[in-house]
Chains A and B, each alone.
Chain A
Amino acid sequence: MTTTTPEEENGVKRRDFLYIAAGGLGAVGTAAAIWPFVSQMNPSADVLALSTTEADLGGIDVGSELTVVWQGKPIFVRHRTEEDIASAENVDLSTLPDPEADSARVIKPEWLVMIGICTHLGCVPLKGQGDYGGWFCPCHGSHYDTSGRIRKGPAPANLVIPPYEFLDDNRILIG
């Protein structure tokens, strides 16, 4: 069988198409079958339903801070003083490791809402400490200012602002 006739060549092409079709369908089916097994590890419906937390601001005096839990993470809710706000706004942004204006980080200037997780390696910073009047992370020495921005130390970014909105003057909904 060293020479091939035109019919045989056609046969070869049709045969190859059949095998390609079979293999392709099999691959598609396998991929579709794998998807549920990947998806099941994503948050389940009950976990997603708990993805918002309400915080009551009424009890937080000026200059005090409350920590609430949202999605398992600590959230710092600080009722800022006039000095806090002033020192946060009067900063030359070009001197910041992660330049960001204070106005971009708050909805109402007297309320600062941040995820209290250091952007370096995840420790929870301590309030009222550090060289910039804000927070200090004891793990590796990152200093955050009164807007929660990184000023000194190994952390690469400012403390993250979670999505939140004011339900009224005394309540916010985080998430």
Chain B
Amino acid sequence: MSFEPKNPALKWVEARLPLPGMIHHALYDYPTPRNLSYWWTFGSLAGFMLVVQIVSGIVLAMHYTPHVDLAFNSVEHIMRDVNYGWLIRYMHANGASMFFIVVYLHIFRGLYYGSYKAPRELLWWLGLVIFLLMMATAFMGYVLPWGQMSFWGATVITNLFSAIPVVGDSIVTWLWGGFAVDNPTLNRFFSLHYLLPFVIVGVVILHIWSLHTTGSNNPTGVEIKDKQDSIPFHPYYTVKDLFGLAVFLIFFSAFLFYAPNYLGHPDNYIPANPLVTPAHIVPEWYFLPFYAILRAVPDKLGGVLLMFGAILILFALPWLDKSRVRSARFRPIYKQLFWVFVADCILLTYVGGKPAEGAYLVWGRIATIYYFVHILILLPLVGLLEKPKPLPASISEDVLSKKKPAKEETVNA
């Protein structure tokens, strides 16, 4: 697999650091299934959003002041005085939401097509680690503007750690650097918010490296068997990903330019006040399902454990799902359960944004129970008992069988 570049400059680099070879391999030698649908564009979109967030974030950090007395006004300075500051700030704030939208679609693609199954268990784990790091980064980032939601969201979530027996209160004091969320907290959140995205970059590199080791999954769940099943990544998927990017950018721009505050909360335009609690403390939308699970449990520690458990349990998914068939396309029962699970997650998101009382609390509990029932009970049972549809013999056969009516004469054995 050694790469012999024709360009003398590239040859010089390759002999000293095999980077040109790695890129060439990824583009031309990486056998990619020929039948990947648009559900496979969300990975590259996630990578794109990571770059957008890092670039816009570094630029914002040139103008932001991480001190409780100055932070809020420094953000307004960015919005009003810095050249294109309003654009970069809205790009970063809406970019966070876009990043999560893209990643959620990427995760659900994985759930539907069994991308977490052997041999891609580690790929799946690395993805979950990225997701956890994203949540930590986003949580700390939201504190930085030092609005009412910044402050009170930080207070509520850091207070959760006091539920840990024996050491809980010490841990919270340690997190805060004081006796409440205050300047030490803001400063350390700024430092870590700047750091974690680069940790994410490292894990993303491992994630892609693992992907290139096992190869991509595809809508049939049947692995590549021979050369006709695959095509080079470039130019086929580079151009497809670029097209997907253009469409996604329109979606992103619609929010950024025409509804930049829709996904946020108006209370965060009020400077933080430790003496006045907002009527309803709500995290950003991408945390709502976990917030719903947290509040569904009457016990504080139980809520915390279940909330983290909801993500940690996903690490066990490759072993919980007992089916020997990967793709839901050929799993008639699982396919329906998948969509019920999607509806359940949407319900959890909706409930998470409502006060935790009355009918909302009831539905939140039902949805939480169903979430765990789906993963812990239904998946193993359905995997064992379901009768899957017959799988295609290969990717090519699946692709050609779809073309039969139009191209009878070109079908070859």
Contacts and interface: CB of A to CB of B under 8 A. Distances in A.
A contacts B: CB pair < 8 Å: yes
Interface of A: 22, 26, 36-37, 39-42, 44-47
B84 interface: yes
Contacts of A47: 81
Contacts of B59: 37, 40
25 contacts: A22-B239, A22-B242, A36-B84, A36-B88, A37-B55, A37-B84, A37-B88, A39-B83, A40-B62, A40-B63, A40-B82, A40-B83, A40-B84, A41-B62, A42-B83, A44-B63, A44-B81, A44-B82, A44-B83, A44-B85, A45-B80, A45-B82, A45-B83, A46-B77, A46-B81
B242 A44 contact: no
B84 A39 contact: yes
Contacts of A40: 59, 62-63, 82-85, 88
Select the residue from A36, A39, A41, A42 with max chain B CB neighbours within 10 A.
Answer: A36
Contacts of A22: 239, 242
A40 B84 CA distance: 6
Contacts of A36: 83-84, 87-88
B317 to A, nearest CB: 38
Given A22-B242, A40-B85, A46-B81, 12 more contacts: A22-B239, A36-B87, A36-B88, A37-B55, A42-B83, A44-B77, A44-B81, A44-B85, A45-B80, A45-B81, A45-B83, A47-B81
A40 B56 CA distance: 11
Interface in B75-94: 77, 80-85, 87-88
9 closest Cβ contacts across the A-B interface? A36-B84, A45-B81, A44-B81, A46-B81, A44-B82, A39-B83, A40-B83, A40-B84, A36-B87
B1 to A, nearest CB: 28
Nearest to A42: B83
Contacts of A46: 77, 81
Interface residues of B, number: 16
A72 to B, nearest CB: 17
Nearest to A37: B59
A39 B82 CA distance: 9
Interface string B54-81: 0110010011000000000000010011
Interface string B38-57: 00000000000000000110
Contact of A26 (B77, B84, B242): B242
Nearest to B249: A29
Contacts of B84: 36-37, 39-40
Contacts of B242: 22, 26
A26 B245 CA distance: 11
Nearest to A46: B81
A26 B63 CA distance: 29
Contacts of A41: 62
A37 B84 CA distance: 8
Contacts of A42: 83
A34 to B, nearest CB: 9
Select the residue from B77, B83, B88 with max chain A CB neighbours within 10 A.
Answer: B83
A165 B84 CA distance: 32
B50 to A, nearest CB: 16
Contacts of B55: 37
Contacts of A37: 55-56, 59, 84, 88
B249 to A, nearest CB: 9
B110 to A, nearest CB: 29
Contacts of A45: 80-83
